[in-house]
Structure formats: structure tokens, C-alpha cells
């Protein structure tokens, strides 16, 4: 049996960070395990290549939810990265920290040390922001943060129209943790996607104390007595045992971390027993508390010159491709969403509970998740409730580690989520009917001018609503009955085992969740080192 000091499962948005920071100490031997392969293809470097990567079984787990009642019983595509970099290798690259009050809420739920002032140093440490350092931004860290480009005519018009509707402009929208409207930043460097693997692992891959194992599927955590001692992996169809002298860290994501725990006998005892798995630790919260950002797009037809669609279809897409290959510029070098407004759905809400994202283009998604640019001049804005009340769960289908679990997403099951979404759709219409953006719009394509009543708009959401691919919460931290890890991310009832990824968020950050997941990797790694070597966190 092979032994490392630390075994990190999952080379994604958090796992790459954890492995890098642990290996910064040359006396620690670290193994990073990834179920997928390297994703180094042409499209994996191109920001717009996400349309080619999502749905590709080489790099995407291609998960589907169970039928969602509030979405007309549809099964919803739920891509998750299966490659070095994890979901940071196939996501939209949008970089937002969420609202500073999100983190104070985490503290109120029994998680000391996770307030805004506690986590801000970790955000700044990990960032190399093109705008330079200030009280919010970091510079000199591994992860390159750039301004989303190009900030075209339509993008600027959307921001101005939102401002005229009473939404305050925020210059540092991605990092300041405030409400308002502005440009979004992205994990793109000189026109190339920056995954957490690119940022944190690739520069130190040569280290003698850091090993990376790809195409190895972790079947379970090995537990002896009350402690995790390693993992069992399936590699080339054969079982392999890997030992951890210090700790096992699950960074396999919102779907796979709870799945691995359950396969290891850590979860709800009754549910495990139904699949013939002996419960080592009864933790009923494993797989529970699933939350995601779910919403719908408003699409409007525009006059020529307002939409990117024309440049991304037909012969023009080859011109854009050449432009990108030669100079790494143009529409292929842009992130998925270029501007956003964080607003309140009503005056009763304490702080912004809606994100309205703007795109100077439109696309349609096939049932299998494939993405195609629409064949017309059009732009779009989508809305979702950033702190949903709806809760779902992840359950086992069987004890077979190669069979995916069942995802009962329960999207929009809470009436207040539907009400907030309706408010957001009406606000989008108000912004798009306000100059200067209104002058470029010909008419509404989706949901269409005939959809006016609440009932008609809810019907529209049921037909077209989809996940924004920001699931969190299935191994939440806290001290209540459903908490899976404590505030130091240690699995309750099992020594030497932690979960460090988006599954530990008790509630999602108010915006795209990739940045928060990377921060959790930074803070989690420091907790491991502090517990092992009495190292203090950054100040």
C-alpha cells in the first residue's frame, strides 16, 4: 500500500487549492486524485469553449436531476467538471464573491471564523486582479482575475439603463460584496481560461512532494476505528488502496463528496442500510440541504449591431476564431455573463436576493445540455434568487460506486422562490424598456409580450427554467442536527477526515459560487496546517 501525508480527492475549484497550499510545506507529501483526465484541448483554453465542453463525457459528469415538479416534471441538465480543474474547467468563468452579509449569516448558523473580515484575507491572497490591489482586491496571488471583455455597446447600455431604474453603480462589483450593477470580472488571463489547476497546480507540478493521479475513481474512504486512514480507488478497472498518514480531504464537489461519504458508511443509517451499506457514522445531513440558483432568461430581438449572435454563427464564426487564434481577443475570449445587477426582490428583503445577469447574445440548450447560439440578432438577461428557500437532496441509487446518485433538486418548490423570480422577470422587462438599451430592442422573444400575468410567467419558468450550475450545501458546516462538518470542516464523528468544497456552504453565496469555493480551499488548507503545525492564518 502506498502512503502520502495528505490525500486530496478531487482536483477542482477547492481541491487544487488545498493540494497546492499543503505542498507548499516541503516536508508534507500530498496526493491529488482526479476521476477525469487532463482537459488540455483547444476548446478548454478558449473562454467561449464552455459550449463545447459542457456535455462532453470526457470532461463532464453529465448529471441529470430527477424530474422537477415545479419545472413541468423535466429532468434538468446538471453539468459538473470531471477533469483537472473540475468545474472551473467548464464553467462560465464569472468571478463574484457574493454579498459580505452572506458570510455573517454563516457565522450566525454556528460557524465562527467565517465572517466577511475573516474570509477577506483569503480572497485577497488567492487573487491576482488586473485592476491592482486595494482594500478589497488582491494582487500577486495564483488566480488571475480580469475584466470581462469586450464590454460592448449593449453591455454598457444595460448598466446605464439599470442605473436609470434606480440601481446603484458599483465599480468593484465582483469583489466589494455590495448590491448594485456593474461589469463582472472573470477567471481569464490574456484571453485564456484560468482553471484552478492552471493557477494553483500547474506552476508547481514539478514538486517532489506533490503527486497528481488522474482517471482514478474514488470508491470510498477507508475508516479504521474512528479515523480515516486512506481511500480505495478504481483505476483501469482494478481496486487500489492508498493510505493517508495525516488526513483525507474530500474536495469532490457538491455531488460526489456526499456520494463518497455515503459509500463509506457515513450518512443516514436507514438510507445506507437500504442499500446494504453498514453505517459507521450516523450523519443524517449527508446529501441533504441541496440548494442551487435556478431561473429563466428573457430574450429580446435587437437591431443590427447590438448582439454578438451574428458573429458567432455561419462564416463569421470562423473570422472570430481567427481573431482569437491570432490575438486572443474578440467574442471567443469573453466570459459567459459580462454584467450583472444584484437587487432586492421586494422592500421586505434585508439585502439583495436576486442576480440579474446580462449577455449581449442568446443561446438555446438542448435537453442533453449542448449549447447552440440562436440564429437571430438578440440579447438576454436572466434572473435567479441567490438565496433560495427550496431544498433538495442527493440519495444513493445503489452501493455501486460507479453508478451516479439520484439528484432530487426540488427547484422552485418554495412559493417565495417563485415570487422572487417573478419580481426579477418584471424588473428585467423594466430595465430593457429603459433607454439607452431600449433604443436597440425590436421586441421580446421570450417569454413574449403575451405573457403578462403571474400565472403565465410561472408557466414560462416551468417550461424554460434551468439551473445556473451553482449547487451547494450537501455537507454543510454548522452545529445543528443536519451539519456534516464543523466550522473547521472536519467530518463529525470521524477523525482525520474533512470536506473542503462548495458542499460545506450552509447557504450559497449571493452570486456565482466558483470564487467562494476557491476561497474555501484557501481557508480549509490553512485550517489543516494550523491544526497540524500551529500555523496562524493570514492577517
Contact 510, 386 (CB under 8 A): yes
Would the annotation count 93 as a binding residue? yes
Helices 415-432 and 153-164, packing angle to 10 deg: 110
Q: Which residue has the cell 454543510?
A: 476
Query: CB of 436 within 8 A of CB of 443?
Result: no
In angstroms, the CA 537 to CA 129 distance is 21
470 is catalytic: yes
| 3-state secondary structure (DSSP) of residue 225 | coil
Q: Is the dihedral of CA 25, 517, 395, 268 positive or negative?
A: positive
The enclosing H or E element of 52 equals helix 50-53
Structure-block grid coordinates of residue 493: 464523528
Strands 77-78, 63-64: parallel, antiparallel or unpaired by DSSP? antiparallel
CA max distance for the chain: 69
Residue 94 in marked binding region: yes
Q: Are 286 and 267 in contact (CB under 8 A)?
A: yes
For residues 79 and 70, what is the distance between their CA atoms, to the nearest angstrom? 20
d(CA 436, CA 430): 12
Exactly one of 293, 297, 308, 470 is catalytic; name it. 470
Residue 218 labelled as part of a binding site = yes
Binding-site residues for FAD sit at 91-94, 218
Active site residues: 470
Binding-site residues sit at 91-94, 218
Amino acid at each position: 500500500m502506498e502512503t502520502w501525508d495528505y490525500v486530496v480527492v478531487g482536483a477542482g475549484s477547492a481541491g487544487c487549492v488545498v493540494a497546492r497550499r499543503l505542498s507548499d510545506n516541503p516536508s508534507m507529501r500530498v496526493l491529488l486524485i482526479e476521476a477525469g483526465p487532463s482537459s488540455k484541448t483547444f476548446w478548454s483554453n478558449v473562454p467561449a469553449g464552455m459550449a463545447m465542453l459542457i456535455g462532453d463525457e470526457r470532461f463532464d459528469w453529465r448529471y441529470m436531476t430527477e424530474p422537477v415538479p415545479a419545472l413541468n416534471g423535466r429532468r434538468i441538465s446538471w453539468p459538473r467538471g470531471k477533469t483537472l480543474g473540475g468545474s472551473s474547467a467548464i464553467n462560465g468563468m464569472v468571478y463574484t464573491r457574493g454579498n459580505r452579509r452572506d458570510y455573517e449569516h454563516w457565522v450566525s448558523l454556528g460557524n465562527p471564523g467565517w465572517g466577511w473580515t475573516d474570509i477577506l484575507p483569503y480572497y485577497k491572497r488567492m487573487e491576482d486582479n488586473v485592476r491592482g490591489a486595494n482594500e478589497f482586491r488582491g494582487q500577486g496571488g495564483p488566480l488571475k482575475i480580469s475584466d470581462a471583455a469586450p464590454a460592448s455597446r449593449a453591455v454598457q447600455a444595460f448598466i446605464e439603463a439599470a442605473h436609470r431604474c434606480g440601481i446603484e453603480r458599483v465599480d468593484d462589483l465582483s469583489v466589494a460584496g455590495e448590491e448594485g450593477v456593474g461589469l463582472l470580472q472573470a477567471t481569464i488571463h490574456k484571453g485564456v481560461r484560468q482553471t484552478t489547476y492552471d493557477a494553483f497546480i500547474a506552476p508547481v507540478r514539478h514538486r517532489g512532494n506533490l503527486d497528481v493521479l488522474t482517471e482514478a475513481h474514488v470508491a470510498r474512504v477507508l475508516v479504521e476505528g474512528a479515523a480515516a486512514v486512506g481511500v480505495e480507488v478504481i483505476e483501469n478497472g482494478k481496486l487500489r488502496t492508498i493510505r493517508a498518514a495525516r488526513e483525507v480531504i474530500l474536495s469532490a464537489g457538491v455531488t460526489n463528496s456526499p456520494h463518497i461519504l455515503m459509500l463509506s458508511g457515513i450518512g443516514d443509517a436507514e438510507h445506507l442500510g437500504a442499500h446494504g451499506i453498514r453505517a459507521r457514522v450516523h450523519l443524517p445531513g449527508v446529501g441533504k440541504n441541496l440548494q442551487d440558483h435556478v431561473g429563466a432568461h428573457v430574450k429580446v430581438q435587437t437591431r443590427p449591431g447590438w448582439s454578438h449572435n451574428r458573429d458567432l454563427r455561419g462564416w463569421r464564426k470562423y473570422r472570430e476564431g481567427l481573431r482569437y487564434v491570432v490575438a486572443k481577443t474578440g467574442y471567443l475570449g469573453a466570459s459567459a455573463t459580462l454584467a450583472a445587477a444584484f437587487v432586492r426582490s421586494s422592500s421586505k428583503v434585508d439585502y439583495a436576493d436576486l442576480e440579474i445577469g446580462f449577455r449581449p447574445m442568446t443561446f438555446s440548450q438542448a435537453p442533453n445540455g449542448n449549447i447552440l447560439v440562436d440564429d437571430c440578432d438578440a440579447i438576454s438577461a436572466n434572473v435567479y434568487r441567490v438565496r433560495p428557500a427550496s431544498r433538495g437532496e442527493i440519495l444513493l441509487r445503489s452501493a455501486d460506486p460507479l453508478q451516479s446518485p439520484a439528484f432530487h433538486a426540488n427547484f422552485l418548490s418554495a412559493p417565495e422562490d417563485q415570487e422572487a423570480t417573478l419580481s426579477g422577470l418584471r424588473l428585467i422587462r423594466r430595465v430593457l424598456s429603459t433607454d439607452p438599451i431600449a433604443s436597440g430592442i425590436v421586441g421580446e422573444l421570450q417569454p413574449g409580450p403575451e405573457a403578462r400575468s403571474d400565472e403565465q410567467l410561472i408557466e414560462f419558468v416551468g417550461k424554460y427554467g434551468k439551473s445556473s450550475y451553482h449547487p451547494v450545501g450537501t455537507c454543510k458546516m454548522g452545529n445543528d442536527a443536519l451539519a456534516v462538518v464543523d466550522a473547521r470542516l472536519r467530518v463529525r464523528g470521524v477523525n482525520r477526515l474533512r470536506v473542503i468544497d462548495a458542499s460545506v456552504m450552509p447557504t450559497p453565496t449571493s452570486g456565482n459560487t466558483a470564487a467562494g469555493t476557491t476561497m474555501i480551499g484557501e481557508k480549509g488548507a490553512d485550517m489543516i496546517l494550523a491544526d497540524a503545525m500551529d500555523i496562524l492564518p493570514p492577517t
